[in-house]
Amino acid sequence: MISMDLAKQTCIPCQEGAPKLTEAELADLLPQLPGWEVVDNHHLTRSLRFIDFQTALDWVNAAGAICEVEGHHAEFSLGWAHAEAVIYTHKVDGLTQADAVLAAKLNGIDV
């Protein structure tokens, strides 16, 4: 079983061929990742709404800083009063525990 305190963990870089999360593991983790959706058992996505462009930009900048610290990078899109994040592990072309950890950390951003 995967540890349930995701936001306190560190993203551990994976190697090619590292195990992907199973559907059962994803189902167990998703309640800990409010706002995130599993898409095609391949990636996590979250759409966020804000009061204006600057607040959306502030969130993306804070999220990017977390990605740099963790050495695990999400994909972001940004527009007026909204942002979207997409997370998956490119090396395995799917989801790993590091993706869940990063999503949990991004949920902790307060802008």
Residues 26-38 pLDDT 10s: 999 999 999 999 9
Task: State residue 17's pLDDT score.
Answer: 66
What pLDDT sits at residue 3?
47
Mean pLDDT of the chain: 89
Helix axes 53-70, 97-107, angle to 10 degrees: 140
| Residue 51 exposure: Cα atoms within 13 Å on the Cβ side | 2
**pLDDT tens per residue across span 41-55:** 999 999 999 999 999
Is the Cβ–Cβ distance between 30 and 60 less than 8 Å? no
| Neighbour-count burial of 32, counting CB atoms closer than 10 A to its CB (0-12 exposed, 13-18 middle, 19+ buried) | middle
Q: Could you tell me which residue, 50 or 98, shows the higher pLDDT? A: 50
Backbone angles phi, psi at 48, to 5 degrees: -125, 145
Name the helix (H) or strand (E) containing 78: strand 75-79
Kindly report the pTM of this predicted structure: 0.87
Amino acid occupying residue 99: D
Please say whether the beta carbons of 61 and 83 come within 8 A. no
Q: Which residue has the higher pLDDT, 6 or 72?
A: 72
Percent of the chain surpassing pLDDT 90: 71
